[in-house]
Amino acid sequence: MGLLKKIDEHFEEYLLSAILSTAVVLIAVQVFMRYVLEASPSWTEELARYLFIWMVYIGISYGVKKQRHIKVDVIMLILSERAKKSIIIISNFLFIIFCLVIIQQGTAVAIKLLSFGQTSPALSIPMGYVYLASPIGLSLSIIRLIQNIILQIRELWALD
């Protein structure tokens, strides 16, 4: 049970750390080879760019988990605790609807690109894999939103 709890609490952190570390190493190799050896491989820049895209979408899930996504707090300052919790629950449900739309559209684009067989210029990997970042990242976000909704409902019941 401890391993599952650790994965639940730190999954995005581990994934983001690995992606960021890889991107930093790739960019450092690119810079070293370009300016010291005067011959830089094109694939390092391309892979770093794709890793950055994945990092953004996994980062959305991390922001949701930490409840740090963009919001307007002005209204929340004047509301009661019960009203605050209710608004948070409603906004999380609206965010889930947004995520579902993007997941559906992003999956359609990724599947289309995979069926076309389009590949990246330097790495020759299917571009559909790059475009799967949005459906996968926002699917993780939905999991975190559901966890937040459950937490908010429990806190709302505790106010009674």
| pLDDT score recorded for residue 42 | 85
- pLDDT tens for 80-117 read 889 888 999 999 999 999 999 999 999 999 999 999 99
Mean pLDDT of 3-30: 91
| pLDDT score recorded for residue 153 | 93
Confidence of residue 4 (pLDDT cuts 50, 70, 90): confident
Higher model confidence: residue 156 or residue 71?
156
- Give the number of other Cβ atoms within 10 Å of residue 130's Cβ: 20
Higher model confidence: residue 38 or residue 13?
13
| pLDDT score recorded for residue 1 | 60
Q: What are phi and psi of 60, to 5 degrees?
A: -60, -45
| Residue 97 buriedness (CB in 10 A; 0-12 / 13-18 / 19+) | exposed
Mean pLDDT of 110-125: 93
Confidence of residue 5 (pLDDT cuts 50, 70, 90): confident
Please name which of 26, 7, 25 lies closest in space to residue 122, comparing C-alpha atoms: 26
Query: Over the chain, what is the mean pLDDT?
Result: 91
The residue assigned the tokens 């409840």 is 67
Confidence of residue 160 (pLDDT cuts 50, 70, 90): low
